[in-house]
Structure 1
Amino acid sequence: MDSPNPPRIFSSARRCQALLRARQRQSSNLSAARYLLEDAISDIEDRLDFTRTTPERSLVIGDPTGSLSRALQGHGEVFDMPPGMIDEERPLPHQELDLLVHLFGFATINDLPGALLHSRAALRAGGMLIASFPGAGSLQSLRSIMLAADGERPAPRIHPLIDNSAAASLLQRAGFTRQVVDSHVITVRYSSLRTLVADLRDQGLASVLRRPGPPLDRAAMARAETAFRDLADDQGKVTEKFEMLTLTAWKS
């Protein structure tokens, strides 16, 4: 790892709780938002088809639906670790992998350089890592709404996010000899702030900051709702963007 004591930005306990709650919401509510997950899975399947990857031993981390694991089962042995069931800052429970897929979790890991080292160590020579998560261009509307809600004393509410160049540098430092980092934007229009927040919770993207800001009181919520309306278009909807980063890397 690059540092014996990486900054503790995120709470491991809150992160685990958020991921487990998202898993429960996905399993108990067919209408739960899953558009980011579905996009990531479709994108990863396209990448595997394009590279003609047929892994004999795969590990999928973070897919509560199990759909990606089922798609890979025709190729060989597949291990599936649901969200919140693994500590990526420790050695992975499965080794000698041809393919390691990580969905969303890398966005909220304190020691991401260490997690990437563990990922590389779990791969066989020639093995591939694919990781997908929201990047630095995400949630700009929500950020401005929260700033308006807090007024003159902004509080930490939304996670710091990684951009393309930082992700590429981290992969290189972790020892991956080939790496590709790219991104695409998903645009979603919301008719209410409540729906936006619910969608984030459904997909395991609720705040897991170690030292979050205080809960919004009634006055702050009123300011947030006003800021939401101020951003709305002539149809009463606010556009939110998610910049999805995809990290693809190989172990030599």
Structure 2
Amino acid sequence: MPPDIFDRGARRRRRDRAAPDYAAHDFVRTAMLDGIADRLATVTRSFEAILDLGCFDGSFPAPPGARVARCDSGFAFARGSGGVQADEDCLPFADGAFDCVVSAGVLDQVNDLPGALTLARRALRPDGLFLAAFVGGGSLPALRATLRAAEPEPPAARLHPQIDVRSAGDLLVRAGFALPVADVETLDVGYGDLGRLLSDLRGMAATNVLRNRAPLASATLAAAARAFAARADVAGRVRERFDIVFLTGWAPDASQPLPARRGSATTSLADALRSRPSAD
């Protein structure tokens, strides 16, 4: 087992703390669910059994005719959605239990992400669909910069390590998914002060749960607030960015199209380029 980067107990407590007022801070996950819905709408087949992995308040809607099982690492979210409590890298579901697995907003806080993706693939039936979204590399640049400016060297670990879109696609392949696709969309948000940003992060259960986290001193927080305010535009707002990485993959099945065998092309790229008409 890989070493734990995140404190599992702290993560559960933060999720329980966020549960009562989550709807006031759920805009990032709402954007993720909208993107997942758009991708799901392009699939012509229907699904009967869906796993909502990291369900939060259970706001992922059940498609017509589908049963949705909910799972969350936090007790309050799991209980409130009628689901089960489990970490994403320790799933209790049988192999082949679902024909679709969706996950929005949790995979960036999983200790064993390759293992979690492998378990999600194993929970799918052959030709089952996996759709996921999480906050990825490049997110929260203003917060990162202000914390670096406010804290003396060496700075403490304040924000989680982030996965970029290319690494995310590689993880899909490593987990055994067929036809993997990873892409990214950006959500831009304006904040009048650092306190509002931190309130949103607490409300969406996205604050620091690293095992080696250290308390944030009041003097450091005040310096960060001043550095954050100095980044404001003429309207008094600081632009913060959330890069949302979307993942799409399929459980392997013999019916799926296969890539062409290497070296099987009958025309070379050089010949094809030479045959193109020249521009006037």
- Using structure 2 for the length normalisation, give the TM-score: 0.82
Q: What does the per-residue CA deviation read over 1:52-98, in whole Å, with 9 as the maximum and x for residues that have no partner?
A: 24211111122333232x332x2222112245222111234254211
- Taking only aligned residues, the RMSD between alpha carbons, in angstroms, comes to 1.5
1:1-252 → structure 2 map (5 Å cutoff): 5-26=1-22, 32-68=24-60, 70-72=61-63, 74-82=64-72, 84=74, 85-93=85-93, 95-213=96-214, 215-252=215-252
Question: Once the 2 structures are TM-superposed, how far is the Cα of residue 41 of structure 1 from its aligned partner?
Answer: 1.0
| Partners of 1:181 and 1:195 in 2: CA distance | 31
- Using structure 1 for the length normalisation, give the TM-score: 0.90
Contact 1:98 1:127 in 2 (8 A): yes
* AA matched with 1:117: T
Could you say which structure has the larger radius of gyration? 2
* AA matched with 2:112: D
* AA matched with 1:168: G
Contact 2:194 2:229 in 1 (8 A): no
Q: What does the per-residue CA deviation read over 1:113-136, in whole Å, with 9 as the maximum and x for residues that have no partner?
A: 111111111000000111110000
> When the two structures are aligned, how many residues end up with a matched partner?
241
* AA matched with 2:68: V
* AA matched with 1:102: S
| Partners of 1:167 and 1:218 in 2: CA distance | 36
Contact 1:20 1:83 in 2 (8 A): no
Contact 1:183 1:245 in 2 (8 A): yes
Question: Once the 2 structures are TM-superposed, how far is the Cα of residue 218 of structure 1 from its aligned partner?
Answer: 2.8
| Partners of 1:91 and 1:81 in 2: CA distance | 9
Q: Moved runs in structure 1, 4+ residues, more than 4 A?
A: none
Greater RCO, 1 or 2 (C-alpha within 8 Å, sep 6+) = 1
Question: Once the 2 structures are TM-superposed, how far is the Cα of residue 157 of structure 1 from its aligned partner?
Answer: 0.3
Question: Once the 2 structures are TM-superposed, how far is the Cα of residue 156 of structure 1 from its aligned partner?
Answer: 0.3
**Long gaps (5+) in structure 2:** 75-84, 253-280
Indicate the larger mover: 215-224 or 143-152.
Answer: 215-224
| Partners of 1:152 and 1:246 in 2: CA distance | 35
Identity %: 37
| Partners of 1:92 and 1:165 in 2: CA distance | 29
| Partners of 2:4 and 2:58 in 1: CA distance | 30
| Partners of 1:180 and 1:92 in 2: CA distance | 26
Q: Secondary structure of the residue that 1:67 maps to in structure 2?
A: coil
